Each structure stands twice: as C-alpha cells, then as structure tokens.
C-alpha cells in the first residue's frame, strides 16, 4: 500500500512538515503515517538490566500530546487513514526514520529542516540531511 511518512518531533519545523505531508497524502489519496523517533542515548540511566527501554513518564506524556494533536489535525484535514508510531532507538533519529522507511517502503518521507549550520549542525547532526542521504525512498525536506 502506498503511504506518506512524516517524521515529527513536536517542533514548529515538524508542524510544517506535517502540513506538507497532509497535503501530499490528500493529493494522492493515500494513508499518512506520523512517526516520532525517541533517541535513548541521553537516557542511558533508564535502561533496565534486561528487557525493553521505557520512555520516561514526562517525555512519554509530551510525545503522546503532540502525536495526538498531529493525528487530530490530519483527520480534520479529511484524511481517511492516519497512523502514528513511536520508535525507540539508541541511535540518531534520522537512522530511525530510514530504518522505518526500509521496513515499510513509503512513497515519500517528509521531514522538516531546522536550518542549522556550522558547528551546531556538526555537533548535533541533521535529521533531514541524514534521511536524504540514506533513505531508500524519495524525501521531501520542508524548509521554513
């Protein structure tokens, strides 16, 4: 099945990417999958000695709030099928989106760009840059 995938993080840049993804899904009458990648690398102390990582309650609450609002926004825009997914990874958020694209094969992945440059981009990395370089599908980068 064809679908549009959008990576979100609760930022204004994610809102812009979501708006474009909704437009694309409506235009092509297809499903929208809204994906958030939670990076656990800064949460090492929450890893259990065995079993799965659990997102800290405070973070989980915030993520659930923006994912719910994104889902509602897409439904209000008239999309027939909207799915949300939270991916937990110890790696780069871009790698999480690429892995999801490799498993699920969207028609296109939509991501927002923060416009970072120089040392900030070098230190933090760019999700949109990573996704465009490694994705198995087309990528639409929304610049604000």
CATH number of the domain enclosing 119: 3.40.50.620
Query: pTM, whole model, 2 decimals?
Result: 0.87
What domain range includes position 83? 7-11+14-143
Q: Are 37 and 87 in contact (CB under 8 A)?
A: yes
pLDDT given at position 119: 46
Q: Across the beta sheet with 3-8, what order do the strands follow?
A: 82-89, 31-39, 3-8, 108-113, 138-143
pLDDT given at position 92: 86
Q: Note the pLDDT tens digit of each residue in 26-76.
A: 999 999 999 999 988 755 555 555 556 778 899 999 999 999 999 999 999
Q: Is residue 87 part of a domain?
A: yes
Number of domains in the chain: 1
- Where helices occur in 9-84 by DSSP H, the ranges are 12-27, 57-76
| Percentage of the residues of the chain whose pLDDT score is greater than 70 | 84
Please count the residues of the chain.
144
Q: Is residue 76 part of a domain?
A: yes
Supply φ then ψ for residue 141, to 5 degrees.
-100, 120
- Evaluate if residue 120 carries a pLDDT over 70: no
């Amino acid at each position: 099945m064809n679908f549009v995938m959008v990576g979100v993080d609760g930022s204004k840049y994610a809102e812009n990417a979501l708006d474009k993804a909704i437009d694309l899904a409506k235009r092509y009458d297809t499903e929208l999958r809204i994906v958030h990648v939670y990076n656990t690398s800064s949460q090492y102390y929450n890893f259990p000695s065995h079993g799965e990582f659990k997102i800290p309650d405070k973070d989980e609450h915030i993520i659930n709030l923006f994912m719910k609002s994104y889902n509602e926004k897409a439904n209000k825009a008239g999309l027939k099928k909207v799915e949300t997914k939270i991916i937990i990874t110890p790696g780069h958020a871009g790698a999480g989106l690429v892995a999801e694209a490799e498993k699920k094969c969207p028609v296109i992945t939509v991501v927002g760009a923060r416009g970072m440059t120089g040392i900030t981009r070098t230190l933090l990395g760019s999700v949109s840059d990573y996704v465009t370089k490694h994705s198995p599908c087309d990528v639409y980068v929304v610049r604000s």
